Structure 1
Amino acid sequence: MKTKLSTNEASEKLKAVSSLNDPFLLKCLEDERKGIVNLALKKKHALEKDQAAREKFYEMSVYEEKLRKQGFSMIAGIDEVGRGPLAGPVVAAAVILPEGFFLKGLNDSKQIPKNKLEVFADYIKNEAAAIGIGIVDAAEIDQINIYQAAKKAMNIGIADLGTTPDYLLVDAMKLSAPFPQEAIIKGDSSSISIAAASIIAKVTRDRMMTEFGVQYPEYRFEKNAGYGTPEHLAALKEFGPTPLHRKSFAPVKTYL
């Protein structure tokens, strides 16, 4: 009579395990066969990673949960990308997530692998209660400075929501908007709403820079997103600034 599962059978059964305390997982971890133990360890690490991601999400939901308990429901997270590049616009997004929203792995867009950003952005677009985008181009950045341009992009994003927020969670900025708000330092890694906004803003801007890369192939905007990489600086020196370049930024202004 067969008393032990084969390695393949154990592998199949481990796929259904969803708890670190599952008796079958614990039994496999103590198996005398190295192959079974390795399978169990792999499953254990995957469950621990999943648990950590879920805990991170709920930690990042604290601001939203606190505000919902106070009676707010249309809570807009706001963030911008593109302050540092030498070329291209600054782009902001405002995102209102519905109650009960969940996206495992949600974090500051800079912490998410590039191959997942588009997937996350599509999921947020499908699930969000509202999304607004604000864009301020290089010419206006030169006129009003990058800090004011970032603020303006955020306010445009709020106006583009198509609905009225009742509270704003803003990444590290205070806005002149007629809504109660809180500026959160490192908000894109502290609030799910701001994190969602950072992803939408980044994907929107990256797509724009990819299109600009076709228009101005020498600068490889699709690769560097307008940041001052060595190849971008070499092209700037050889060909000079484009209309997309921020002429108030060094070293762009030295090539005018």
Structure 2
Amino acid sequence: MPDFALELRLAADPAGGLICGVDEAGRGPLAGPVVAAAVILDRRRKPQGLDDSKKLTAAQREALFVRLFDYARDGHAHIGIGAASVAEIGRLNIFHATMLAMQRAVTALRVIPAHALIDGPHCPKQLCCPATGVVDGDALSLSIAAASIVAKVVRDRAMAKLHLRYPAYGWDRNKGYGTAAHQAGLAAAGVTPHHRLGFAPVAQQMTLHLG
């Protein structure tokens, strides 16, 4: 289970202070934005059941999402959300678009953290604070786990809304990932403005339809 060990180690430093966790959702899908979240938790108020978003059900994530924003309203958490659009993914590539979304999430916090814990080995270069990459950070750090939940729920909700406009692809279920249903939708209905044109299955369908 994730805990506050990394946060407490950084906070104990003479330059320590508020520590934020940062994670993203949506690197791998064929459609939709990549979304990132930055979360600072009051380390005296651990939300019960908080864990890596991948280990939770959709209902558990939704319940924790609501609880985290309740904490934020009560002053026990700070939450920032950032995203990079499909156009930015196409222009920058998915790695750099993810770094941009993370940077935007940290910037969206109402306070400036002393340090950011970033899920994964890479950190955005232009942050307002020092940062440390943590491989499998959402399984180690409660702050990163909280960010993983916020990013995942925000993106899932966005894809569910897009599904109402583009129902052929099953985005309410697959969230834009390249499932069989999504691939079948691409073959039948073609490419939408929300598809990532640089991703191979989408590019192949573009070639087929243009040909």
Instruction: Decide: shared fold, TM above 0.5.
Output: yes
Q: Are 1:69 and 2:19 an aligned pair?
A: no
CA distance, structure 1, for counterparts of residue 42 and residue 10 of structure 2: 13
Q: Are 1:142 and 2:90 an aligned pair?
A: yes
SS of residue paired to 1:92? strand
Residue in structure 2 matching 1:168, options 106, 116, 119: 116
SS of residue paired to 1:94? strand
Instruction: Specify the code of the residue in structure 1 equivalent to 2:124.
Output: L
The correspondence of residues 217-256 of structure 1 with structure 2, limited to 5 A, is 217-256=167-206
CA distance, structure 2, for counterparts of residue 178 and residue 92 of structure 1: 16
Residue in structure 2 matching 1:210, options 160, 165, 168: 160
Contact 2:112/2:128 (<8 A) preserved: no
Where does structure 1 differ by over 3 angstroms across 4 or more consecutive aligned residues?
A: none
CA distance, structure 2, for counterparts of residue 73 and residue 101 of structure 1: 16
1:26-53 CA distance string (max 9 Å, x none): xxxxxxxxxxxxxxxxxxxxxxxxxxxx
Deviating more after overlay: 69-78 vs 209-218? 69-78
| Greater RCO (Cα-Cα under 8 Å, separation 6 or more) | 2
Q: Are 1:156 and 2:104 an aligned pair?
A: yes
Residue 100 of structure 1 is matched in structure 2 by 44
SS of residue paired to 1:247? coil
CA distance, structure 2, for counterparts of residue 147 and residue 99 of structure 1: 31
Q: Are 1:120 and 2:64 an aligned pair?
A: yes
Structure 2: 5+ residue runs without aligned partners? 207-211
Shift of 1:175: 1.8
Residue in structure 2 matching 1:192, options 142, 160, 173: 142
Instruction: Specify the code of the residue in structure 1 equivalent to 2:80.
Output: G
Deviating more after overlay: 147-156 vs 96-105? 96-105
User: What is the TM-score with the length of structure 2 in the denominator?
Assistant: 0.91
SS of residue paired to 1:96? strand
Residue 181 of structure 1 is matched in structure 2 by 131
Residue 91 of structure 1 is matched in structure 2 by 35
User: What is the TM-score with the length of structure 1 in the denominator?
Assistant: 0.75
Please tell me the root mean square deviation across aligned C-alpha atoms, in Å: 1.2
Equivalent pairs: percent with the same residue? 42
SS of residue paired to 1:212? helix
Residue in structure 1 matching 2:24, options 63, 69, 80: 80
Residue 209 of structure 2 is matched in structure 1 by none
CA distance, structure 2, for counterparts of residue 130 and residue 103 of structure 1: 14
CA distance, structure 2, for counterparts of residue 70 and residue 112 of structure 1: 33
Name the one with the larger helix percent. Answer: 1
Instruction: Specify the code of the residue in structure 2 equivalent to 1:64.
Output: E
SS of residue paired to 1:251? helix
Instruction: Specify the code of the residue in structure 2 equivalent to 1:124.
Output: L
